[in-house]
Chain A
């Protein structure tokens, strides 16, 4: 009824025509706007790339590159400077890196981003913190803690801690980082591990890896530090290939007997340090996750682990059976002899795991 009345109106087709024309005009305008915007972004990007190239060339060729380069005027220029310098200092050290850092100070690029850290918009502050972190400026050691006190967004706070971790210098410094972390909700294991990984890398770069050992010792019994954070410190130790920390890691292993995740991190660290002494006893641990970690490196041990590996073939847990079988296959002739015997076992699950591992070993050979 309504539709009939509407379409029989003498102005209906005029209105329809106008509406279609307006829609078409809007679409054309939108496409034009996007094209113009794309062009502007491309132009800015090309300008930035050109400036980055000039900056890198100046840093390589002259002692004081600030004399050759223009002062940055807008945000694109600042980005070009910060990206070029971050790239140089992230990849090279020595004279080139020092010159690049001096350039940042002389052209006051750091001041620009420090001001941006006070911006009311949180993601702009986060971006500024990320850039200052990438530049690894020693001035950040004073600036970031002050910023942390006034910062309201946790997203930015996590970034500040990350930036500080790149500048670690001693155990006291890492401990204060740890305390800052404890004041925030736990983010992820990856983030916390990365923070400590950065700290270890910075200490290694300064030839002070032992400071991390003292730090681990200090927090072992500290109740204010979460156990999961302690676990992440140990995981970072493993990822960073820490050496000469086997004694302290071993101490953690025996102290945290009720914390399987800490024990797992300890086992991984110890194995990467070449310390396999605890593995035979770990193969009989009550927690299956701990046993599984040990099984993954059991082939590196001596023949004393063979009985435990054989028993693990009959475990109720599939992962343990398969990893025990694979460890036996990697063990050599003795391990494979056990597998051949178990392949005919009345325990169907053990026999399956043994046959699978033997098949894998033959395929690899």
Chain B
């Protein structure tokens, strides 16, 4: 099963993701802000990053940009999960090379399926 890094400043969200995705057999690591997310991405080497946008210290867009610039992390798939639904943000996310843009509120069961299908296709599962 895959290693997933959840970067979100909201404890409730990281907790729910941790519980549900662990149940699905994945190993979960969490980070409470963008800077910590970047650091953990380098150490944990996840198969997928679930990334929020509105976070302290560094926004999700900046994290995605830096991940893509770093040769060590540039190939890690990123799923943005945010409450920002505006077209302009969705476009910005895809321009940064993310794999998927999920708007909150998301259905956790659908999210699990989406992650599993993506990782299976990629051969990470």
Contacts and interface: CB of A to CB of B under 8 A. Distances in A.
Interface in A128-144: none
Contact of B85 (A57, A91, A201): A201
Nearest to B19: A60
A276 interface: no
Interface stretch (B41-49, B65-73, B106-114, B116-124): B106-114
Contact of B87 (A89, A92, A238): A238
A96 B83 CA distance: 17
Interface in A95-125: 96-97
Contacts of A89: 105
Given A52-B12, A56-B15, A60-B16, A90 B105 contact: yes
A61 B10 CA distance: 19
Contact of B10 (A60, A91, A197, A239): A91
Contacts of A61: 19
Contacts of A56: 11-12, 15-16
B104 A90 contact: yes
A162 to B, nearest CB: 15
Q: What does DSSP make chain A's interface, helix, strand, loop or mixed?
A: helix
B108 A239 contact: no
A94 interface: yes
A227 interface: no
Interface string A332-343: 000000000000
B13 interface: yes
A92 B15 contact: no
Interface in B40-94: 81, 83, 85-88, 90
Contacts of B16: 56, 60, 88, 91-92, 96
16 contacts: A52-B12, A53-B11, A56-B12, A56-B16, A60-B16, A87-B10, A87-B12, A89-B105, A90-B104, A91-B10, A92-B16, A94-B107, A197-B85, A239-B88, A241-B87, A272-B87
- A-B pairs, top 9 by smallest CB distance, nearest first, are A93-B105, A87-B12, A56-B12, A241-B87, A91-B104, A94-B107, A239-B86, A91-B13, A56-B15
Given A60-B15, A96-B108, 16 more contacts: A56-B16, A60-B20, A61-B19, A87-B10, A87-B13, A91-B10, A92-B16, A92-B105, A92-B106, A92-B107, A93-B106, A94-B107, A97-B105, A197-B85, A238-B87, A239-B88
